[in-house]
């Protein structure tokens, strides 16, 4: 058999083999924007610092007061924390306390300070938890929280929030009553401290906020159709009042933020994970109301994006 006879069946077979389809992570030829992102945007949030400000070690059988470095007081009665569904925890427990003071802190917890067509102006946002030897503990009775405030803001409300799939970040009004102005004795500053106090019956994320109506047009961000809440996050970061507002995924690459408050200065930010651990981002400073935005994300290392957020 000649070499020509040997190669003919092989070449004929190759004519009928299907072409291998290229993986769908193509980029636009001009500015290297991912057309078909298929990453998980949760990886962006996992890389952010979520450490507590302080971890207090206390005895659950004794009443005690915790004071943060910003002057927030947490007054806890004896046997306040218990094993889930059971008796009070005995002996030493650990309480992790975090004040969510910055827009970076809010984004790191995937927060959105929105209630349908209302928005929240935060005055105290905090996250706290208790555990004993690695076991999470529950509140068995309400806890009083006080914080100094020299410029009273009016009728604040206490809300509890959490992130969940597929709902995103949701808020529920506290059942323990409103936030009130008062005067108390501070263990460091002494008597005559003016500010707010509130009673809470939940750990996790909570916020004392002023809820305001928003009456302007929506802000829209338009991407390629494959962009979705699975691989992309879009925020308006209100630098005037320190509120992070997340856009909603409206399908087919359209993200919407309805009912923005008018005259707010801030930054619109988008981040997408195109493929695992390759992130693309874009941002723009605006004053509301603003025309629609068509971001074209650029590949950046995450520390660059995190540093930008910390600088707001």
Task: Give the integer Cα–Cα distance in Å for 212 and 14.
Answer: 67
Task: Give the integer Cα–Cα distance in Å for 73 and 124.
Answer: 12
Task: Give the integer Cα–Cα distance in Å for 263 and 288.
Answer: 5
Tell me the per-residue pLDDT of 257-291, one tens digit each, with 9 for 90 and over.
988 778 889 999 999 999 988 999 999 999 988 88
pLDDT score at 11: 45
Tell me the per-residue pLDDT of 70-95, one tens digit each, with 9 for 90 and over.
889 999 999 999 998 889 999 999 99
Reading the block at residue 88, the tokens are 């009070």
Q: Which residues pair with 125 in a beta bridge?
A: 207
pLDDT score at 21: 39
Q: pTM for the complete prediction?
A: 0.87
Tell me the per-residue pLDDT of 6-15, one tens digit each, with 9 for 90 and over.
434 434 433 3
Task: Give the integer Cα–Cα distance in Å for 282 and 234.
Answer: 10
Tell me the per-residue pLDDT of 91-134, one tens digit each, with 9 for 90 and over.
999 999 999 999 999 999 999 999 877 889 999 999 999 999 98
pLDDT score at 200: 94
Task: Give yes or no for a cis peptide into 289 (omega within 30° of 0).
Answer: yes
Tell me the per-residue pLDDT of 162-197, one tens digit each, with 9 for 90 and over.
999 888 999 999 998 779 988 888 877 778 888 899
Percent of the chain as helix, strand, coil, to the nearest 5: 10, 45, 45
Domains of the chain, earliest start first: 42-46+214-310 (2.60.40), 54-213 (2.60.220.30)
DSSP reduced 3-state for 42: helix
pLDDT score at 152: 67
pLDDT score at 30: 44
């Amino acid at each position: 058999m000649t070499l020509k006879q040997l190669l003919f069946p092989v070449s004929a077979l190759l004519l009928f083999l299907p072409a291998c389809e290229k993986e769908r992570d193509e980029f636009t030829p001009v500015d290297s924007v991912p057309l078909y992102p298929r990453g998980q945007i949760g990886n962006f949030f996992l890389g952010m610092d979520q450490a507590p400000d302080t971890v207090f070690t206390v005895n659950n059988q004794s009443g005690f007061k915790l004071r943060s470095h910003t002057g927030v007081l947490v007054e806890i009665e004896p046997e306040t924390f218990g094993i889930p569904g059971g008796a009070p925890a005995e002996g030493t427990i650990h309480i992790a306390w975090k004040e969510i003071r910055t827009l970076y802190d809010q984004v790191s917890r995937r927060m959105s300070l929105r209630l349908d067509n209302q928005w929240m102006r935060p005055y105290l946002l905090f996250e706290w938890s208790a555990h004993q030897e690695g076991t999470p503990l529950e509140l068995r009775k309400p806890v009083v929280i006080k914080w100094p405030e020299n410029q009273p803001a009016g009728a604040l409300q206490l809300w509890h929030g959490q992130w969940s799939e597929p709902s995103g970040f949701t808020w529920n009004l506290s059942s323990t009553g409103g936030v009130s102005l008062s005067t108390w004795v501070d263990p460091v500053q002494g008597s005559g401290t003016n500010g707010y106090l509130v009673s809470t019956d939940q750990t996790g994320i909570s916020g004392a906020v002023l809820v305001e109506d928003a009456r302007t047009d929506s802000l829209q961000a338009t991407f390629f159709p494959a962009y979705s809440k699975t691989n992309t996050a879009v925020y308006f970061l209100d630098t005037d009042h320190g509120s992070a507002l997340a856009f909603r995924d409206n399908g087919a690459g359209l993200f919407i933020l309805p009912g923005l408050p008018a005259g707010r200065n801030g930054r619109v930010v988008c981040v997408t994970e195109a493929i695992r651990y390759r992130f693309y981002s874009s941002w723009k400073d605006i004053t509301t109301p603003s025309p629609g935005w068509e971001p074209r994300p650029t590949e950046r290392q995450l520390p660059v994006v995190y540093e930008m957020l910390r600088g707001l």
